[in-house]
C-alpha cells in the first residue's frame, strides 16, 4: 500500500472518453478490452472503465452516479509549466473551468473535466505548504 500503480475512471461512453484522452490530451492507448482502455503515463496506468461494464461485472445494480467521483492531479515544476500545458491543452479543445491562477493554498493551478465530469488538476506549489 505504498504506491499507486493504476487509476481507473468510470466513463459513460468508452469511445467518447478514449477520443478525449487520446486526441485532446495526447495520451497513447496501451491496451483495449471490452468496456475498458488503458493509457500509459509516467509512474502509473490511467484506465477508463465503462460504467455499464463495471455495474455488470461488480453487480452494482441501479445505484445512481452523482457528480465527479475523483480528481486526478498532475504536479508540474513551475507556474510557467502549468500555464504552458494549459495553453497547449486549451488549444486542443480541452474545456478548462478557468485560466490558471494562484490559489490561497499556495498552488498555481488550472482545472478541467473529462466528458464524464472527472476533475483534473494541473498544479505546482508556489510557496510553503499551509499548516493549520
Q: Which domains does the chain have, with CATH numbers?
A: 1-64 (3.10.180.10), 67-132 (3.10.180.10)
pLDDT value at position 113? 87
Cell 465527479 sits at which residue? Answer: 68
Strands 119-125 and 71-75, sheet pairing: parallel
pLDDT in tens, 14-57: 999 999 999 999 999 999 988 889 999 998 999 998 888 877 76
Positive or negative CA dihedral for 103, 127, 46, 55? Answer: negative
| 34 vs 13: CA distance, rounded Å | 12
H helix or E strand, kind and range, residue 88: helix 79-91
pLDDT value at position 87? 98
pLDDT of residue 81 exceeding 70: yes
122 closest CA partner among 100, 104, 103, 106: 100
- The answer to whether residues 69 and 117 touch, using CB atoms and an 8 Å cutoff, is no
Task: Look up residue 123 and give its three cell numbers.
Answer: 498544479
Amino acid at each position: 500500500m505504498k504506491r499507486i500503480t493504476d487509476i481507473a475512471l468510470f466513463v459513460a461512453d468508452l469511445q467518447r472518453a478514449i477520443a478525449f484522452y487520446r486526441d485532446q490530451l495526447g495520451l497513447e492507448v496501451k491496451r483495449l478490452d471490452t468496456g475498458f482502455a488503458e493509457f500509459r503515463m509516467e509512474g502509473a496506468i490511467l484506465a477508463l472503465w465503462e460504467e455499464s461494464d463495471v455495474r455488470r461485472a461488480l453487480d452494482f445494480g441501479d445505484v445512481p452516479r452523482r457528480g465527479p467521483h475523483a480528481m486526478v492531479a498532475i504536479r508540474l515544476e513551475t507556474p510557467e509549466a502549468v500555464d504552458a500545458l494549459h495553453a497547449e491543452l486549451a488549444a486542443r479543445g480541452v474545456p478548462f473551468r478557468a485560466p490558471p491562477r494562484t490559489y490561497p493554498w499556495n498552488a498555481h493551478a488550472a482545472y478541467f473535466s473529462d466528458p464524464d465530469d472527472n476533475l483534473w488538476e494541473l498544479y505546482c506549489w508556489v510557496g510553503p505548504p499551509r499548516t493549520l
